[in-house]
Structure 1
Amino acid sequence: FRLLVDPNPPKPAPATDIGPSDVSRPMDPNYRNPYTEQWNGGYTWAITSNSAIEIEYVHVLGLHDAKSVVINPKDVNKGGARNTDAPLTAAGLPLLGQVRMQEPIGRNRYDGMNVSYRKRMTRHFAINTSYVLSRALGYNGASASFGNGPTDLNNIFAAHDLGPVPGVDEKHRWVVSGIVDLPWGIKFAPIMQWASARPYTSLEGQNDTFGFGGGQGSTHTIVLNSDPTNLLATKSYTAAQLRSCLAANTCQQVATGNLRGQTFYQLDARFSKQLKLGERMKLDMFFQAFDMTNRANFGSMFQTNIRSSIFAQPTGFVSTSGVVVPHAFAGEFGARFSF
């Protein structure tokens, strides 16, 4: 075959059989598109002609999120056989590998209360401030996701899989911004953001704790019932020891979002001044500063594996979707001449 000279070789024929090492992904015959039920209500109170307070409540319930569920997991008590092995063997058919059924059975929920205060520019300053009290829940640390699998294929709606969504759930957020007219025609526009720590889930660090053969979500940290706050108690346990512990009901998986990362704080500001050069010419100068406190915001980017030497230590910086958060203090000058 000569590239760009000979015609492309024919594509190989698609497979017609599913082998024991293949993964099949059938769709649930009752599959349906996910959707959300939303409602909100609020009240605005005009304190004066230039200031107001707003209170709002928002509720969002997500239904029929797609989950990937292996319907024929391996059973370690049966030598690693799948529940499809015996009937297929009896029928003289080849064995199947993982069958990951795509099912519309997931749910997620968000509830938030927003309180804000606005004051228009009077007496040389304007201010906007808002406070949000919220909660975001999902199964196994995901909301509105596709293909998210449960941690226990024998209990796909286990209580430990329902919890705050890691990296997303923020109980508290406070934002203040404004504009202040300073002497000598300088305008000062700061914005401050503070938010409570986002959750993350500690993991046991075993690839297949239950011997399902794959396809399940990562196993959360398994803790002893006698010492549930000691996340490192089972760090050296083998998969067999962990299964025995769970079977004896002397240990349990921790819940999704059992740990919290770092509180978020950022202060940015802009200073500007306009110089008039005659009747028609103007020079606008500004200086912008980002992360003025030089704070490293890690958010929920922490090592989750309890078997790692850097467990619970930062692994990266927070970066909300669509927003680039500076990792350290940064500033810039600029000017615009108009005539």
Structure 2
Amino acid sequence: MRENALKWAETEIKHKKSRSKVKIERRGKMITFACIALMAAIAVSIFVFVASKGLSTFFVNHAGVAEFFTGTHWEPGKTDASGNPMVGALPMIFGSFAVTFLAALIGAPLAIGGAVFMTEISAKRGQKMLQPVIELLVGIPSVVYGFIGLSVAVPFIREHLSGSGFGIAAGTVVLSIMILPTMMSLSVDAIRAVPASLREASLALGATRWQTIYKVVLRTARPGILTAIVFGMARAFGEALAVQMVIGNATVIPESLFEPASTLTSILTMGMGNTVMGSVENNALWTLALILLLMSLVFIIIVRFLGRRRNLS
């Protein structure tokens, strides 16, 4: 009888433990699901709010979609001959894409070269030399980059090249330095993910180290490197304060890289605090914010596509 009672007690204790584990797992799943649902609700709410405000320019203020994306006159407080607001956003769109692509064009080779040095040429020395530099560049605030560009890049361009110093060239220099650590760190991860067996097989077939790096390592790591470049471009496209300080903020399409220009983010940061909610100027700025949000989604889609290609390969 005593042995049966002990067995029964042991089984009851085991059942209680299993039931408590099930309760804890259910509680954990509920908390996780609530957090995910909250994050999804916040993201959807932000998108709906920005979209409702941004589309008001077309549905409430009756601005033409074609005129908005192709017009070159940005004066939301005024109207044209047809009575529609003058909200031509082409200069800002052009400026954003110009500084983004030029910054990626300058920063990508430097990032890939630094990543190759850190992983393939001199891993220990590269880690010692470049890792602190990357961490320092990541930790510098945007306003400091802007002040450095304002104090160094703008005077240099004005004295040695052309123009007033403010323009796409100055913005490109600042942005290329800002996105460099992002692209380099992700490129390092992509190159390190290449299996060592591929390097050994290439060297065993008689290839030199540079041939192995160029034709084996970099080609294998190409999806990851492209992902790093897209991440850098996404940061450059959304940067506001540093670009605003050096680009000149003129709502015109520049004829050269050394003339003042503007970006979507620079116009937003300059004008959002000086408008009244619901006015034409405010709705036009929300439309610029909607364009930025949609471009962020495009960058995310590209990154996911490249990541899927990398996993398949």
TM-score scaled to structure 2, two decimals? Answer: 0.24
TM-score scaled to structure 1, two decimals? Answer: 0.22
Higher helix share: 2
**Which is bigger in relative contact order (C-alpha 8 A, separation at least 6)?**
2
Higher strand share: 1
